[in-house]
Structures are given as structure tokens and as C-alpha cells.
Chain A
Amino acid sequence: MTLRVLLIGQEAAGAQILRALAAASQHEVVAVLTQEPSSKGDPMSLAGVARALSIDVMHAGLVRETGFASLVRDRGVDVLLNVHSLHLVPDDVLEAPKIGAFNLHPGPLPEYAGLNTVGWAIYNGDAEYGVTVHWMVPRVDAGPIAFEARFPMDEAATALTLSAECTRRGVELLLDVLRCADAVPSRIPAHAQNLSRRRYYRRSSMPQEGRVDWSRSAAHIERLGRAFDYGPFTSPWGRLTTRLQSTAVEVAGLTRTGEPTNEPPGTPRLSKDGQLEVASADEWIRTQRLYVQGSQVEPSRLLEELWGRRTGPDAYP
């Protein structure tokens, strides 16, 4: 049968699932709701992909307007798919599709509910991560699990590469939902979450409030760096901050040097190739980029300004 699908989404993941739906299924996407429905000149955005497929595009905020549930019913929507949209879907809309509403969550549930969970998992040093498609219920990320994939965490994963992995695997899970809905809807799995193990990560929270604590181990600081690393894109958490003397400095790209140190944590030095390295509890940490008041600065210039001396390896503090 041809399922009628309503897609609410954004980011690359939304566009990916729409392209996959267009390429691999016989189902009809009756409309796409996205945060930026009018984006022009962006053929690979969700809105751009939808327009190329002659699919109606609407603003995602419409989902909260009175009468939207009626629209869902009027259009005969069988399945609502929510992909990385931040708009909360009201109860009456969740109940409007004939088969159900499903959310693609880029994290394993119930352990990683909420936002920016890829970064939190890297920061926490987990060996395994996952991606989940669950039935939507009024409580965010709390519905029964339809499909999930768990996989080992790459030790070098950054927030960007882990997000990409979740999207790749998540698209397949959503297609599984549609295959199941197409065959026998009543057999779509619905495994209740053990909500006693639920951890919810709020949008406003971030590891260590975004500040580097140089008294921690190098391994810990390196994980913090990867958790904030969406390079070359911007992290939703912004850049990590630290202080050198009394100057607030933003740092990006924290990597281990493997070189032990007994210097007090936070001690800076200039490497032979001109990068700033800072002492952690047990090892020198290398920084790739520094910013002061939003502008990138050269490490040697920054240290010279802070200490008023000539720059060079081992010249600081």
C-alpha cells in the first residue's frame, strides 16, 4: 500500500530521510514542515529537497497552531515522522495520524534523552552509543521504542562525526518503521522504556559550562574537546573557554601531545611549530585555534601580549 507520510524535520538528517523516502519507497510525503521553509538557493536543505519533489513545505511552528491536527486527518496522514525538529508536537497532533507518530532521536534511550546528546556521550567517555526511533508521546523522548541501533563509539569520534553516524543509521531505522507500517502496522515494535534509567539533557546545559578545567587529566580534556567539536561547523554549545592571565580565551581543537608534564595545570607554552600547549594534570594539551573576543589570534601574538616577552618554545610563563 502507499503510506501517506508527514515529515517534520530540519538539518541534514531531515533532508537525508526525505531523499531516502523518495528513492527507496513507494510512499507519498504529503507535506514537509521545517524551521526554514522559505530557504532559497539551498537545494540540499530539507525545504529545497521537498520543493524539488513538488512536496508542500510549511513552517514547523504550524504544528502548534489550533486546527493542525484536523489538517493531518484531512490529508489522510498514516505516519508522522519527526526528524531533529525542536518544535514540540501537541498531543492532538500526535494522535491524528492513522498509524502513529515516530521520532528519530540521535541517541540511545532512555540513557540519552534531550538535546546535544552526542556531545554528552563523548564527554562521558561511553564505549557505546546508539540511535533510536520511538513512538511519540507527550513527554519528550519517552515513548516506546520501535527500533534502535547501538554501535561501538569510535575513540576519535567528534560531535560532528558521531552525529553523521547517527543520521546514517537513523535513516535506515525510519525506513524500517515504514516497511513495518506498510506490512502489518500492528506489528511495529513498541518496547516501553525503563524510565528509571532516563537521563534528560537540557538545551541550556553543557559539560563544565563550556570551560576547560586544566587540572583534569589529558584524556578527560581531550574528550571535552571532541564533545564540542563540530569542526568545521559551529558547535551548538559554542567554543570552549579558558583564561590565560586574566584574558578570556576561546579554544578549539584540543589534542593530546603524549608528553608528560609536572608544570602546574594551566601553564601555557608555545610549541616549536607555533601552537599553544597547556599543561593538564598529567600531559601537555595542544590547542589548534585560539579566539579573543570572537576573532582568531596567533598563539605567539597572544602570549606576547599577555606576558610582554619574546615568543618561543618554553618561553612561558
Chain B
Amino acid sequence: MTADTLRDDIVRILRDRVRVVVPSPDADLLDSGLLDSLGLVDFVAAVEREFHIVIDLSDLDLDDLRTVVSITELVRKKLS
């Protein structure tokens, strides 16, 4: 899976599962308020299901989830 494909998948999950339309890959989803705590929990669960990976929320920094770019990197590491 290429980085672009992975990023597109992340954008799609955000849009379809938590109804967040991302303005750009480096947009701050947290400071902008696009993703709140409830949305974040739902989003992580959706990513786990989609990619068959486990993401331990308590082992994350908020920066890991701040942008589509950082989320893509997180998922890429989990997949590898």
C-alpha cells in the first residue's frame, strides 16, 4: 500500500465514520476542534477495524493524531 493510498483511506475513514471533512492533510484536527474526544475514540476504532491493527490510545501522544499526515505515519508504522 502506498503512502498516498493510505492517506486517502484515512481521509475516507474520517469522512465516512466520524463525519469529519479534512480541509488539508496537514490541517490540525485537534486544535481546530474537527476531532473531539468522542470522535477520536470512534475514529481509532474504525482505523483498527479497517487495517486490522491495534492502536493503544493510552500509548499515544496527541501529536500522533493531530493531522492526516501524522495519522498516516502512525498507521504505516503499525502495518510494518
Contact = CB atoms under 8 A, between A and B. Distances in A.
Contacts of A231: 56-60
A132 to B, nearest CB: 18
B34 A229 contact: no
A232 B36 contact: no
Given A232-B64, A232-B65, A233-B62, A161 B34 contact: no
A42 B37 CA distance: 13
Interface string A93-137: 000000000000000000000000000000000000000000000
Interface size class of B (residues with CB under 8 A): 20 to 34
B38 A12 contact: yes
Interface in A34-53: 41-45, 48
Contacts of A164: 37-38, 41-42
Contact of B58 (A13, A43, A48, A229): A229
Contacts, number: 65
A160 B36 contact: no
B32 A42 contact: yes
A158 B58 contact: yes
A161 to B, nearest CB: 6
Given A158-B57, A229-B58, A232-B60, A45 B33 contact: yes
Contact of A41 (B32, B35, B41, B59): B32
A233 B35 CA distance: 12
A167 B42 CA distance: 12
Interface residues of A, number: 27
A48 B33 contact: yes
A152 B75 CA distance: 30
Contacts of A161: 41, 57
A196 B64 CA distance: 46
Contacts of B34: 43-44
A-B residue pairs, 7 tightest by C-beta: A231-B58, A42-B33, A44-B33, A12-B36, A164-B41, A12-B38, A232-B60
A44 B31 CA distance: 10
B4 interface: no
Given A12-B39, A167-B38, A232-B62, 12 more contacts: A42-B32, A44-B33, A45-B33, A160-B41, A160-B57, A161-B41, A164-B37, A229-B57, A229-B58, A231-B60, A253-B58, A253-B59
Contacts of A163: 37-38
